[in-house]
Chain A
Amino acid sequence: MSDPEIVAAYEAKWGLDQPLPVQYINYMKNLFQGDLGTSIRTKQPVLSDLAQYIPATFEMATFATLISIILGLLFGLLSAARHNKLPDHVLRVISLMGISIPAFWLSILCLYFFYLRLGIVPGSGRVSAEWLGASFPTGFLIFDAITYGEPDLLRDALSHLILPSFVLAASTMGILTRTVRSSMLEAMQQDYVRTARAKGLSEGRVLRHHVLKNGLIPSVTMFGLSYGSLLGGTVLVETIFSYPGIGLYAYKAASTLDFPAIMGTTLFIAAVNVLMNFFVDIIYALIDPRIRY
């Protein structure tokens, strides 16, 4: 169907006429020069596309991280402290739901209640229409709103952020709750906790000094591991909420077979993941004296 001449010209333009290993080497060469190629869909360099969308995703991921860590810790500690009592049962159900409810379904459910029924949050996007034309110095809306003293923008950006961040946080929150719970329970059973009690320390002191620190060590690793899935989750969540970030960009790239963009996004998410695990290893060494690098 297609004109062979046009196909040949297209292949030559994108370097697709070369053998695969050569294509790969070219890609790597460009990569090390900071060139991720040009998006077929947007006709822009992939790198500048990414740079444009990173702040939005970074904001959402940070927000989701905060939500999941705060709730995960709180729920996990409460669950362990009230082991096998009512709060524990309730929180275990909540964390199981957080892990197992698919993000797309939770998104729709949340949109239905909080946007459609209650109307307390906006349904999509990153800002309301009135801000759409504005340009933001750093692209980090929360940061810009605070540094430039725009409380209206801050409120607007936060209200757009809260629902997708919550959905994104749900499964990490569930995983963290369970990890914190089980590692706290395990720490309580340790011999050194008995030693601490035998010293005559009060129950509160035993928990604060001996259980907490040991109990939180596994949670740090677990968080590093789940950060990757959190980033992966942005594809679904950003698409459903029409939130202009890396996830939405990845979705659009995938649905139009925009290979340079797909590869660029994948590479970016992988790099963030590696970086995150590197940080986790550093934190690990700081809190656990048995680990030295």
Chain B
Amino acid sequence: MGEVLLEVKDLRTQFSTEHGIAPAVDGISFQLEKGKTLGIVGESGSGKSVTSLSIMRLLQEPAGRIAGGQILFKGEDLVKLSEKEMQNIRGAHISMIFQEPMTALNPVYTVGEQIAKVFMVRQKMKKKQARQKAIEMLALVGIPSPETRVDNYPHQLSGGMRQRVVIAIALACNPELLIADEPTTALDVTIQAQILELMKNLQKKLKTSMIMITHDLGIIYEMADEVLVMYCGQIVESGSMQEVFHHMLHPYTEGLMHSIPRLSDEAEELSTIEGIVPSLYELPKGCRFHPRCPYARKLCQTEEPELLEVSPGHCSRCHRYSDMWKEG
């Protein structure tokens, strides 16, 4: 086993709202080795973004807060760091790419200024030198004629180009960990493939570890070494990409798998998981997935399943793998 870069232990993140307390991330644990890619997959609202914002400590306080657990980055617990100390981690050691390339860049500054800023603040570079580095970064992320693009404003670039700029900003200081929160969801399919290809190449080149967040199992298949499947703030299945894809354990993962569009399929055969993601304020008793699960039994309505290691390194939160299921 390689060196562990990030270890999350029993992370709990809550939002206090007028409806009550929402346990958006409810006790998740995982490890990420150096140079590897962890894929986090789940439907919208399952807590993927909150997980990444917790690691970055960018939750909207005071409504959102980390209520428990540890986030060990190179052995240091990020939960315990002050805001000042966290600012030295962000951008330099851990970077993040967000979903919406259209709004992730500031409209009143050129893309060059926004990339250069990182070098000026982080590495105390002079303006001219930082601009030169910005041009290099634009070239690195595959933007044609970077010398002229550097002076463009975001609205002068296409969505795919903007996402390349966002990636350039994130990778500017060569961080050890890159968190990509649905980096291609807002892009159309061909651009999506190009951006994923770029990220893969850059990751190899810069030896960055990555957390790839998506609701699309296809992207996980392309990118990830390890997979976490999240539902209602919990991990319902985890394991290596090979294991999870070929020996899928959890009914929810199956559901996600069936909702991937395939070229050979007729459009109408495309199924989605029936029912809706329950509200965090009224979680179902027992297994949180039982109202939507085709295998659900009485046991599932009353007893909450544990995350069990079914085979080495491959875990599932489902009663079907417990002794109780065989008995019932």
Contacts and interface: CB of A to CB of B under 8 A. Distances in A.
Nearest to B103: A191
Interface stretch (A44-52, A59-67, A197-205, A237-245): A197-205
Interface in A31-75: none
A290 B152 CA distance: 11
Interface stretch (B90-98, B138-146, B188-196): B90-98
B169 A199 contact: yes
B105 A214 contact: no
B276 interface: no
A217 B98 CA distance: 25
Chain B, interface size category, equals 20 to 34
Nearest to A192: B106
Interface string B82-108: 011001111110011010100111111
A201 B87 contact: yes
Contact of A289 (B83, B108, B118, B169): B108
Nearest to A195: B104
B42 to A, nearest CB: 21
Interface in B70-86: 83-84
B121 A201 contact: yes
A190 B89 contact: no
Contacts of B221: none
Nearest to B58: A197
Contact of A202 (B87, B98, B103): B87
Given A191-B100, A287-B108, A198 B56 contact: yes
B58 A213 contact: no
B83 A203 contact: yes
Nearest to A201: B121
B166 interface: yes
Interface string B160-180: 000000100110000000000
B107 A290 contact: yes
Nearest to B166: A195
A208 to B, nearest CB: 12
Interface in A273-290: 287-290
Contacts of A288: 107-108
Contacts of B200: none
A202 B169 CA distance: 16
A289 B91 contact: no
B88 A200 contact: yes
Interface in A173-228: 190-192, 194-203, 205, 209-210, 213-214, 217
Contacts of B109: 209
Nearest to A289: B153
B108 A214 contact: yes
A286 to B, nearest CB: 11
Nearest to B121: A201
Nearest to B99: A191
B103 A198 contact: no
Interface in A83-128: none
B contact face: mostly helix, strand, loop, or mixed: mixed
Given A210-B106, A289-B107, A199 B98 contact: no
Nearest to A205: B121
Nearest to B89: A200
B155 interface: yes
B122 interface: yes
A190 B103 contact: yes
Nearest to B56: A198
Contacts of B110: 289
Nearest to A213: B108
Contacts of A217: 108
A192 B91 contact: no
B117 interface: yes
A289 B152 CA distance: 10
A194 B58 contact: yes
Given A194-B98, A289-B153, A199 B90 contact: yes
A199 B104 contact: no
Contacts of B91: 198-201
Given A210-B106, A214-B106, A199 B121 contact: yes
Contacts of A289: 107-108, 110, 153, 155
A192 B58 contact: no
Contacts of A210: 106
Nearest to A214: B108
A195 B92 CA distance: 13
Interface in A135-152: none
Contact of A195 (B83, B88, B98): B98
A192 B89 CA distance: 19
A200 B169 CA distance: 11
Nearest to A202: B87
Contacts of B122: 199-200
Contacts of A203: 83
A199 B117 contact: yes
A210 B106 CA distance: 7
Contacts of A196: 106
A190 B105 CA distance: 9
B58 A195 contact: no
B168 to A, nearest CB: 12
Given A200-B90, A200-B92, A289-B155, 15 more contacts: A192-B103, A195-B106, A195-B166, A195-B169, A198-B56, A198-B90, A198-B95, A200-B88, A200-B91, A200-B121, A200-B122, A201-B121, A217-B108, A288-B108, A290-B155
Interface of A: 190-192, 194-203, 205, 209-210, 213-214, 217, 287-290
13 contacts: A192-B103, A192-B106, A194-B98, A195-B105, A197-B90, A198-B58, A200-B88, A200-B92, A201-B121, A203-B83, A289-B108, A289-B110, A289-B155
